[in-house]
Amino acid sequence: MSLALRPIVNVYSINGVEITNTIPVPSVYRAPIRPDIIRFVHTIMSKNSRQPYAVSDKAGEQTSAESWGTGRAVARIPRVNGSGTHRAGQAAFGNMVRGGRMFSPTKVWRKWHFKINVNHRRFATVSALAASGITSLVLSRGHRISHLEEVPLVIENSIEQTKRTKDAVSILKAINAYQDVQKVIDSRKLRAGKGKMRGRRFRQRRGPLIVYDKDDGITHAFRNIPGIELVNVRNLNVLQLAPGGHLGRFIIWTEAAFSLLDDLFGTFDSPSLLKKNYFLPENIMTNPDVSRLINSDEIQSVVRPAGEKRTKRPFTQKKNPLRNQGVMNRLNPYCQVMRRAEILRYKRV
């Protein structure tokens, strides 16, 4: 069932059994889901954390070499001076030779970072939020949520006072969210390549995203659990809501954070209270089911009835213009005049 059709969401206690409250579904969950915008914004945002790199300015050119010129039956590439070693006479400097520089050496002043329009980034954020409320999208992303009561999962505010990791694990098990953490633990693998030497020794899947309003110890309690990410509701971004540009992140909300969404992003009728003059984006089509639109009574009552089916020949028959006068007239309209003149000449004779 789509979250857009549900009027309220239940708030569960930290023991996962009791329902302590119900909250109306924020309007952001009815925002249009645009995978193209999410992928674009995610690609640009991920580029903005890159560290500049470049090869040395002297790399490949730290040798004494000059061309031998023409007349010696060898290429005119610069060659190392001297004699008595294997290096003497070898080509140097060029990008196609051993020990030479690369083509177009990289520079640190390359354009690494890119600007993103504010409204474009906000559109991607609300679209990723709306996708996180559809169970099928969360399941298709690989999260283990089959034992949950509902998605999104909203927990009472007392979870924000959790200070021990032991208690945090107990809460996750009580609300049936620990299966997604176990998936992350089982997926931990040694990275292939040189990333092992560069602080990226292991790779693993993504687990739940916990969104809170006030940090009264929740970040310390959950930060050491594999796959868990935490973010303040005011700092939501696409990199965490749609990792890799893929929709459907499993999100665990605190009650206060979930209640703040309407003030943060506004509704379709009123602007946001925390973002100046910001309204939620409207859907371009209220009903994207084209077949249902075409077959509706309103459209079928005004369209013309279907006519008889006419089967056209799948190819055009080739006709010889030397034998078919009509085809010849289409190819050469003056041929008709010439033929009439020839007939008149025969009659005179």
Summarised one tens digit per residue, pLDDT across range 37-64 is 999 999 999 999 999 999 999 999 999 9
- State the maximum Cα–Cα separation within the chain, in Å, rounded to a whole number: 119
Helix (H) or strand (E) holding 187: helix 178-187
Q: For the chain, list the strands marked E by DSSP.
A: 8-12, 19-24, 65-66, 79-80, 153-155, 189-190, 202-203, 209-212, 229-232, 251-254
For residue 303, the model assigns a pLDDT of 92
pLDDT over 70, % of the chain: 99
**Mean pLDDT of all residues in the chain?**
94
Helix (H) or strand (E) holding 172: helix 165-174
For residue 183, the model assigns a pLDDT of 97
- Please list the residues that pair with 128 across neighbouring strands: none
Compute the distance between CA of residue 215 and CA of residue 172 in angstroms, rounded to an integer.
18
In whole angstroms, how large is the CA radius of gyration of the chain? 35
Q: State pLDDT tens for residues 215-243.
A: 999 999 999 999 999 999 999 999 999 99
For residue 343, the model assigns a pLDDT of 92
Q: Is the pLDDT of residue 1 over 50?
A: no
- Parallel, antiparallel, or unpaired for β 251-254 and 209-212? parallel
